[in-house]
Amino acid sequence: MKRSELKELIDEGENLQCEFKRKFSSPEKIAREMIAFANTKGGYILFGIDDDKRIVGVDSEKSETDLITDAAKNYCEPVLEFNIEYMDMYGKEIVIVEVPESANKPHRLQDYLNEFDINKALVLIRVNDKSIQASKEMVRIMRAQTEKLNLTKYSIGESEKRVFEFLESKETITVKELSKLLNISERRASRTLVKLIRANLLAIHTKDNGEEFFTAIG
């Protein structure tokens, strides 16, 4: 990374693909941030930068590197890829951690379970400038995308027709709204909406507070 690129990242502030850390806290907390970036669009964690964009630097380059490596290898499942760079800014050492978007989603916080359990796994995603827990719908979508399970042959039934009728008047729909509309469990409503996403008929959106809603594509 060039010095000008780092300065531009700092000037833009925290956002979907950039997080500032004044100092290293714990491997688990950093693993959460790395997981969120890997599960979303990728991004950068800048150590030695305060939330107000002030450059404070890090105390020990080696110590930070060891802790970041520990976070990625021992607190993320599956292990995720990352790159580390170091740069001097105004006499302060900055550690730049780049986490690319993963092709092996979803990553979760290490839970030492042999198999992925959607009811227990802590999967995080990035929404604007925050890292939040992903919904079960989002996790199912990530798993389907990784396993290339897009639906190419999907028949539209009565339930799906009512989804689109609802969207014609309301523009958005949630799992709870569909559950109430069709008088079905939220689990069935969730699976119905996820299937429509896999068929490229709906899009999912996440608010800052983690709430999600769905809209029609096209």
- Which residue, 56, 80, 77, is CA-closest to 69? 80
Please compute the mean of the pLDDT values over residues 163-168 and round it to a whole number.
Answer: 94
Name the CA dihedral angle for 102, 106, 108, 110, rounded to a multiple of 10 degrees: -80
Q: Is the dihedral of CA 108, 113, 116, 120 positive or negative?
A: negative
pLDDT digits (tens, 9 = 90+) for 82-111: 999 999 999 999 999 999 999 999 999 999
Supply the pLDDT for residue 149: 64
Residue 36's domain is classified under what CATH number? 3.30.950.30
Same domain, 161 and 93: no
Same domain, 125 and 197: no
pLDDT digits (tens, 9 = 90+) for 27-41: 999 999 999 999 999
Looking at 81, 112, 133, the residue that finishes a domain is 133
Structural domain range at position 152: 142-216
Residue 210's domain is classified under what CATH number? 1.10.10.10
Same domain, 11 and 118: yes
| Contact between residue 44 and residue 96 where contact means Cβ atoms under 8 Å apart | yes
Amino acid at 36: A
Question: Based on the structure, what is the number of domains in the chain?
Answer: 2
Looking at 112, 133, 154, the residue that finishes a domain is 133
Please compute the mean of the pLDDT values over residues 156-170 and round it to a whole number.
Answer: 91
Same domain, 129 and 151: no
Contacts of 31 (CB under 8 A, 6+ apart): 71, 72, 75, 76, 109, 110
- Spatial distance between the Cα atoms of 121 and 116, rounded to a whole number of angstroms: 7
Give counts: helices (H), strands (E), the chain: 7, 10
- Spatial distance between the Cα atoms of 93 and 64, rounded to a whole number of angstroms: 11
Looking at 109, 133, 157, the residue that finishes a domain is 133
**Omega of the bond prior to 100 within 30 degrees of 0, cis?**
no
CB atoms within 10 A of CB 140: 21
User: By three-state DSSP, how is residue 66 classified?
Assistant: helix
